[in-house]
Each structure stands twice: as structure tokens, then as C-alpha cells.
Amino acid sequence: MLSSVSFLLLVVTLGATVQGGPQALPKADLTDQQLFWGADQYEFSTVLRAEGLQCFWHFAHRGETFYLNFMVQWVTGVGHDRHLTVTVNAPGGLLVTTVDEPKGQIKFEAQETGFYQMCLSNFHNRFGNMQVFLSFGVYYDGVQDADRKQEQQEEEKKKKEEAGQELNNTLGFIEESTHRVEQRLFHMFRYYSVGRMSRSADYFMLMANSQYVTWWSMALSLLIVTCGYLQLLFLKRLFISGPSGEEEKPRC
């Protein structure tokens, strides 16, 4: 009797723990293409259907900096709108931020460990598709967890106790310099990605304007030629003379 009661209490405790904690694991019905946690950064393009919604998940630890850059490359359909609605949700389900622009940047420090949800919505266009360029990931910016700080302090203490080992100090200096250079190169890559997105937006805008001017020029040229022909035909019909005798004069 006591064993069965203990078993029931254990099941209730586990159920409450699973339902009350943050979402540290992804949902079971998600595909591998929607989950990103094998690398620190990703960069690709995706196509959203008319009034479509597409979501992605990326894993982040607490204390890491999460960033998301997006840009609408092209839109199809009549009366299209280049605005894109982007929302980011925390693993616990809370809304972190939302943006409704053709392009933008989202950056924040992760407060929970788990999968962060990024949803792209194309509800502005009911009959047109759009292609979106995405660049997102996580990186460290001088913020470390308590465990890592403790490990670093222990390593520093051991290094201080090892007197006379200049080789270890040299290797530590090289490692710190390499980490600093790697961090600056990563930030440079982010700025380069944003600049490339701006140049791509200008290029697609130029192509769209060129196509718009070409079609309107053709349409106006055809309209001018048609109007000239109709005007000439109307003037000729005003000067029609009858086939009878000399008494009849040409009417105008």
C-alpha cells in the first residue's frame, strides 16, 4: 500500500515539474529543418506563401546574445506589400519582441536556456509570395555563467601556484588574444552581412523600378499610337464627298 502511494506521488511530482518548467526541448512534431542548434550562426533565404506563417527554433543558453537579421528580397502579386511581421518567443512562451518592417535587426540577451521561436508572417499579402533572407545565431560578448567563472578562477589560481612556468603564461596570453580577435572578426562578419543585405535591397528595388518604367513606357507608347490613328481616321471621315453631280459640294 505504501509503495503504491509513493509511486503515485512520484508521478504527480514529475508531471508538475515537466508542465511548470521552461521549454528546454523542442516539440515532437517538428522537422529537422525547423530546428537549429548545431552551430552558432545560420544564413539562408526562404519563401513565404500568401498569408503564410513559418517558424524556426534555435537553441540558446542563458547569458548568450541572440541576434536575428532579416530582409525582404522580392514580393510577387498585385498590390504587394513588402512589410514582414517577425516575432521572437522565449522557451517559456513569453513574447520577447516583434517587428513589422521590410528589413530589421533583433538583438537581446537570452534569459532562459532552451529553444527560442522565430515566426515570420506574410499576412499583409493575400495573393503574393515573398522571399526573405535570414541571418541569426548566438554569440558570447563577455558574459559567462557562474560555472565557467568558477572554472576560470580555479585555472588562474593553479597558474599562479605554478611559479616559473612562463610557457603557460605565454599560451594563456595567446589564447586570450586569439579569442579577442575571433570575437572582433565575428562582429565584423555581422556588420558585413547587414551591409550586404542593404545592397541587395537596393538592387532588387532598382530591378523592380526598371521593370515598372519599361512596362509603363510600352503601354503609353501603344496608347499614343492608338490615339493618333483614331484621330486621323476621324479627320478623314469629316471630309467625305458624295459621288453625284457638280452642284453638290464637299461637306465638312
Residue 43 and residue 110 in contact, taking contact as beta carbons nearer than 8 Å: no
Q: Work out whether strand 41-48 and strand 130-139 pair parallel, antiparallel, or are unpaired.
A: antiparallel
Grid cell in block for residue 1: 500500500
pLDDT reported for residue 55:
95
Type of residue found at 46 = T
The beta-strand segments (E) located in the chain are 35-36, 41-48, 53-60, 65-75, 84-89, 95-101, 103-109, 114-121, 130-139
pLDDT reported for residue 227:
94
133 forms bridges with which residues in the sheet? 45, 71
Under the phi-then-psi rule, with left for phi > 0, alpha for psi from -120 to 50, and beta for the rest, what region is 197?
alpha
Render pLDDT for 93-148 as a digit per residue (tens, 0 to 9): 899 999 999 999 999 999 999 999 999 999 888 888 999 999 999 987 654 454 55
pLDDT reported for residue 218:
94
Q: Does the model's pTM come out above 0.85?
A: no
C-alpha neighbours within 13 Å on the C-beta side of residue 136: 28
Q: In the chain, which stretches have pLDDT less than 70?
A: 1-39, 79, 141-152, 163-165, 167-169, 240-252
Q: Residues of the chain with pLDDT > 90: what percent?
A: 33
